[in-house]
Amino acid sequence: DKEQAGPGLLQGKKVVVTSGGTIERIDPVRYITNDSSGKMGFAIAEAARAMGADVRLIYGRTDVAPPAGIDTEHVQSAEEMYQAVLKHFPDSDLVIKAAAVADYRPAVAASSKIKKKGDTMTLELVKTVDILETLGKSKTHQFLIGFAAETHDVEAYAKDKLRRKHCDLIVANDVTAEGAGFRSDTNIVQVFDADGLVEKMPVMTKNEVARRLLAIAAERMSEAG
Ligand code: CTP
Ligand code: CA
């Protein structure tokens, strides 16, 4: 399985991978999260290691355990994920943001359990930091790969995110398609760069997608020197 990874393609490279969903606290017993399983990011972390990289895996809430033998850091909120990524960003060569980061969090996390009161309840949410956008604006030499989870107009939204977040590549997937999406072991992705479509992959296992994606990145990183 690992033989096809092209061992050594990322030899000596420092790679940061984020995976899973974030947890944004409402109160001590409740939180907001999403359907991310963590599988895509974990597959990328494993494939990168198989290709010789020095991998740092930062992961939030997941359905499966992280791969063994990789340096990991478990985080909860978008803010914690941001801080963890920032620590490793300056000396990383490649950053892959597969995590499903919450876009909004409760304005306040109540310190005690919120009691049931009226017939309706309003929760005020505020925007979280956009980790990828922040990295994109401050990157020096790092090769940046973002993900775009879409349910419609996949290509247009993905291209817009690539531009807005200054990514070198963006991996777009239609999360509602058969054989793709959050909980699946397979995925169907299209990879874009600033010039347009780089590769449209057929339905593949997340391990295969990870290897192919990293091969594309490694080639481009070596061209860039
Ligand atoms: N991302 C991030 N920080 C956030 C939100 C998203 O770093 N607060 C990253 C994700 O990890 C992913 C990319 O941005 O690599 C795109 O995430 P996505 O949710 O598809 O895009 P958004 O820009 O959040 O737009 P929307 O959810 O409205 O489609
Ligand atoms: Ca989002």
**Which residues lie at CB < 5 A from ion ligand 2?**
103
Q: Is 182 in the pocket of ligand 1 (CB under 6 A)?
A: no
CA dihedral (167, 156, 180, 190) positive or negative: negative
**Amino acid, res. 212:** R
Candidates 212, 172, 215; CA nearest to 192 is: 172
pTM of the model: 0.95
Closest CA to 36 of 101, 88, 83: 101
pLDDT at 101: 98
State the ipTM, two decimals: 0.99
pLDDT tens per residue across all 225 residues of the chain: 444 544 599 999 999 999 999 999 999 999 999 999 999 999 999 999 999 999 999 999 999 999 999 999 999 999 999 999 999 999 999 999 999 999 999 999 999 999 999 999 999 999 999 999 999 999 999 999 999 999 999 999 999 999 999 999 999 998 888 888 888 899 999 999 999 999 999 999 999 999 999 999 999 999 987
| Cα 219 to Cα 221: distance, rounded to the nearest angstrom | 6
Radius of gyration from C-alpha coordinates of the chain = 18
Q: For residue 34, indicate whether it is catalytic.
A: yes
Which residue among 147, 175, 182 has the greatest number of ligand 1 atoms within 8 angstroms of its CB, and so is best to mutate?
A: 147
CA of 81 to the centre of ligand 2 (A): 14
Is residue 126 a contact partner of residue 104, using CB atoms and an 8 Å limit?
yes
Q: How far apart are CA 208 and CA 186, in angstroms?
A: 9
Q: Which of 183, 156, 188 is nearest to 173 (CA)?
A: 188
- pLDDT on residue 7: 56
